[in-house]
Every structure is written in C-alpha cells, then in structure tokens.
C-alpha cells in the first residue's frame, strides 16, 4: 500500500471506516441487507486467523419473520426492541464440536482433534476463537459500509435450544446490522489510554 | 471511501493487507518493532467495540531479555522457539476485574459494575471481550505492515503467576510480531465455505 496515516501502512480512509469513525449504532434505515452483501463480508473475514484454523463460528441469519420472533422472545433489555426492528439479525454461535473438522482444516497435524477431547478445553477454545471471528465479522460489516450492533441481552440457553437443539452450539452474541440511520451518533465512549492497557517490561 | 472491491466499500488494498494476503507467519526479520509503532497500532484498535465498553484486554510487552526468558520457560511446542526468536513478544491477558472501571468507561449506566458481581459471569465476559480486542489487535498489527503470530502453547497459570501474581489477570494468548522474513509463506489453510458456516432461516 502506498499511503498510510498515523504511522501505519493502512490508509486513513480505511482506518476511519473500520475503527476511528465507525460507531456502534443501533438505529438503522429500512434498507434491507441482502445475502449478496453478507456473502461478500463473509468471503473477506473468513481469512481472519484462528488457533489451528479452528473456525468455530457459526452464523444463523434470521430472514423470516418467524425466526426473528423466535429469537426476540429470548431477549431482554434494549437489545430486544432493537432486534425486532433491525434490517437483519444474525445469531453468532460457537460450534463446540469444531474439532471434528480439524483433519480437513488443519491437515498438517492429523492428531489435532485429539487435543480437544476434553469438553472443557474444547469449549474454552471454541469460545475464544469464535470471539476472534466475531470481531473480524464486526469489522467486515463496517468494511461493507454498514453498522454492526452486537447485543448480549439474551438467554443463551433459550436461544441455543430454540435454534440449535443439538447441545453442540452455544450462542455468544446477537448481531444486528444495517445501514445507520442519518443523524448524530451517540457520543464516543472513552477508551483506555496506552499506559492504562499496556505495560512494557 | 470512493473505491471498493468484491462488493465492499473498503478498498481492495486494505482488504488484502488485513485479510486476503495477510498470513500468520512466524519467521521474522531481525528488524526491531519500536514502541512508537505499537502505540500507533494501539491508538487505532482501541476503538474496536466491546460489550458495555469493557475493554478488558491488558498487554504486556516483553522488551527485556529477562522478561522474555521468564515467558519462554512457561511455553511449549513450536511457539517456544518462535517466542524466543521474535523481534517483539506481547502477553495478551484479560483483566478479570474490568468491572471496577465501568463507572468511568460506561457512565451511562452507573449500575453496570453490579451486573458483573458474579465472578463466573465476569470471567466469561472478560474472556469474550478480550478475545474481540485480540482480533482487533491482530488486524492492527497487519495495518502497520507487520505480521502477527499468536501462539497458544503455554501454561496460562504459570504465565499468570509469573507476570501478574494478583489473581485478577488471565493470559489468553502470546503474540509474536515483527516484519515477516522474505520468502514464500506456508500454503493458506482451507476456510469454511459460506454454506458451511452460515445458515439462512
């Protein structure tokens, strides 16, 4: 890349789009979010790295009114109304049996799946790596010019039973997305300074 | 942004830098990674969103030979030698008492800290949100033109006691970073197709 800003190689417009000017807004225009755009986002963010290429994130796009209603009834707090009104809602879940696919996804270590025989080890790894993928997805939604509003106000057991019912998936977040409604976004919340978050020893 | 590629607003060079052409390489040139560059990365990625603005990620940059040696002795597998040789190594940990700062970080809900009185709820939230921040950080390192190689081959209890000793931090990943050595990167591992990871209902 030729440009760069603030000492980085990434150009300023991209920095602003993904981080500096992006905001978690939860009020959207009525413009629908088509599957094509979701595919374009997925096709980019799937390259984000995970430990041993686990890729435990599973996404359920709630397109039908029935599916959305079934999700909303397990939600509480401000996320409930936001989810009912969003142009598109996605359930973001971790596949707790991701290890079954490791022979294909991480072929260099044929014994990789055996490292995850302990369900507690597996769940911790699934949650960690699915969270990495959720972050990539949030930035990917922004890369598409949309806003992503994750919400945590839900009963995960309820959503898991409603949408998976197989005991092998656990919902980590509900993501509403769409084109942000015009108007002033809420004020930016404070961020920790470098010296508050980083120690050099 | 004016450009765009593959149906996204983000320009193609930025997509490639962060996702498509970026690779997890763990062999670096000897070129040092200065604190200025780390600050530039942090100053970008700190804007990545977390639930209720929790920002639980804490970073320890191992600059001294002693600090690095103290980390390496808790590591195993291929990550051990990589960590010993990397231009810069960072411990990435979650602050399990992040809620103490919520009055300042999430002032709109003065009762926010009370939602995290249960240590299990707090740890789950700290791990999830710190993982989001680790993903932002990995992409931020790439935005700086560097390669980031996270490694999970370590004894978290050992690292926690060695570097924190306060019982309130837990190490989630060790991140090696630097300028990738010239040469052919290892082949790209397969990624799940859209239809394998995404369900539309």
Size of interface A-B (CB pairs under 8 A): 227
Q: Please tell me what DSSP assigns to residue B20.
A: I
- The answer, for B184 touching chain A at a CB cutoff of 8 Å, is no
Q: What percent of chain B has pLDDT over 90?
A: 85
Whether residue B12 has pLDDT greater than 70 = yes
Report the distance separating Cα A103 and Cα A117, nearest Å.
14
The verdict on a CB contact (< 8 Å) between B53 and A199 is no
Shortest distance, CA B50 to any CA of chain A (angstroms):
9
- The answer, for B31 touching chain A at a CB cutoff of 8 Å, is no
Per-residue pLDDT at B151: 92
Chain B residue with Cα closest to A126: B128
Report the distance separating Cα A134 and Cα A90, nearest Å.
11
Taking only the tens place, the pLDDT of each residue in A53-78 is 999 999 999 999 999 999 999 999 88
Q: Which residues of B touch A94 (CB under 8 A)?
A: none
Report the distance separating Cα B92 and Cα A132, nearest Å.
13
Whether residue B136 has pLDDT greater than 70 = yes
Per-residue pLDDT at A117: 96
The verdict on a CB contact (< 8 Å) between B131 and A128 is yes
The verdict on a CB contact (< 8 Å) between B49 and A150 is yes
Query: B27: pLDDT confidence band, cut at 50, 70 and 90?
Result: confident
Strands (E), chain B: 57-62, 88-95, 147-151, 169-178, 198-200
- The pair of structure tokens assigned to A32 is 């629908």
What length does chain B have?
201
Rg of the Cα atoms in chain A: 18
Whether residue B24 has pLDDT greater than 90 = no
Report the distance separating Cα A35 and Cα B200, nearest Å.
9
CB atoms within 10 A of CB B8: 25
Comparing C-alpha atoms, which of A117, A119, A124, A133 is closest to residue A173?
Answer: A133
Q: Which residues of B touch A128 (CB under 8 A)?
A: 127, 131, 172
- The answer, for B44 touching chain A at a CB cutoff of 8 Å, is yes
Comparing C-alpha atoms, which of B170, B59, B51 is closest to residue B105?
Answer: B51
Whether residue B78 has pLDDT greater than 90 = no
Whether residue B16 has pLDDT greater than 90 = yes
Mean pLDDT of B16-41: 92
CB atoms within 10 A of CB B114: 10
Average pLDDT, chain B: 94
Shortest distance, CA A89 to any CA of chain B (angstroms):
11
Q: Helix-strand-coil percent breakdown of chain A, rounded to 5?
A: 45, 20, 35
The verdict on a CB contact (< 8 Å) between B36 and A143 is no
Report the distance separating Cα B178 and Cα B141, nearest Å.
9
- The answer, for A38 touching chain B at a CB cutoff of 8 Å, is yes
Taking only the tens place, the pLDDT of each residue in B161-192 is 999 988 999 999 999 999 999 887 888 999 99
Per-residue pLDDT at B3: 54
N- to C-terminal Cα separation, chain B: 33
Shortest distance, CA A9 to any CA of chain B (angstroms):
5
pTM, two decimal places: 0.97
Average pLDDT, chain A: 94
Taking only the tens place, the pLDDT of each residue in A84-134 is 999 999 999 999 999 999 999 999 999 999 999 999 999 999 999 999 999
Shortest distance, CA A85 to any CA of chain B (angstroms):
17
Contacts of A19 (CB under 8 A, 6+ apart): B44, B45, B47, B48, B136
- The answer, for B143 touching chain A at a CB cutoff of 8 Å, is yes
Angle, in degrees to the nearest 10, between helices B119-143 and A119-143: 50
Per-residue pLDDT at A3: 54
ipTM: 0.96
Shortest distance, CA A153 to any CA of chain B (angstroms):
10
Q: Which residues of A touch B185 (CB under 8 A)?
A: none
Higher pLDDT: B22 or B34? It is B34
Taking only the tens place, the pLDDT of each residue in A130-176 is 999 999 999 999 999 999 999 989 999 999 999 998 889 999 999 99
Please work out, in degrees rounded to the nearest 5, the angle formed at the alpha carbon of residue B59 by the alpha carbons of B56 and B60: 145
Whether residue A15 has pLDDT greater than 70 = yes
Query: Which of B41, B163, B197 shows the shortest C-beta gap to A57?
Result: B197
- The answer, for A70 touching chain B at a CB cutoff of 8 Å, is no
Q: Please tell me what DSSP assigns to residue B52.
A: G
Name the burial class of residue B44, with classes exposed (0-12), middle (13-18) and buried (19+) by CB atoms within 10 angstroms of its CB. buried
Per-residue pLDDT at B50: 97
């Amino acid at each position: 890349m030729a440009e760069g800003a603030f000492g980085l190689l990434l150009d300023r417009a991209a920095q602003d789009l993904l981080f500096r000017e992006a905001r978690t807004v939860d009020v959207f225009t009525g413009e629908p979010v088509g599957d094509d755009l979701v595919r374009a986002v997925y096709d980019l963010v799937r390259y984000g790295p995970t430990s041993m290429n686990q890729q435990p994130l599973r996404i359920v796009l709630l397109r039908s009114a029935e599916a959305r209603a079934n999700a909303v009834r397990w939600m509480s707090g401000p996320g409930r109304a936001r989810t009912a009104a969003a142009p598109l809602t996605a359930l973001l879940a971790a596949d707790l049996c991701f290890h079954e696919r490791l022979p294909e996804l991480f072929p260099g270590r044929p014994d990789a799946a055996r490292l995850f025989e302990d369900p507690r080890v597996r769940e911790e790894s699934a949650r960690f790596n699915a969270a990495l993928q959720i972050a990539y997805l949030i930035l990917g939604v922004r890369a598409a010019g949309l806003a992503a509003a994750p919400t945590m106000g839900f009963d995960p057991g309820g959503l898991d039973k409603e949408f998976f019912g197989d005991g092998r998936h656990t919902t980590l977040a509900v993501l509403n997305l769409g084109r942000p409604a015009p108007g002033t976004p809420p004020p930016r919340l404070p961020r920790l300074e470098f010296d508050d978050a980083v120690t050099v020893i």
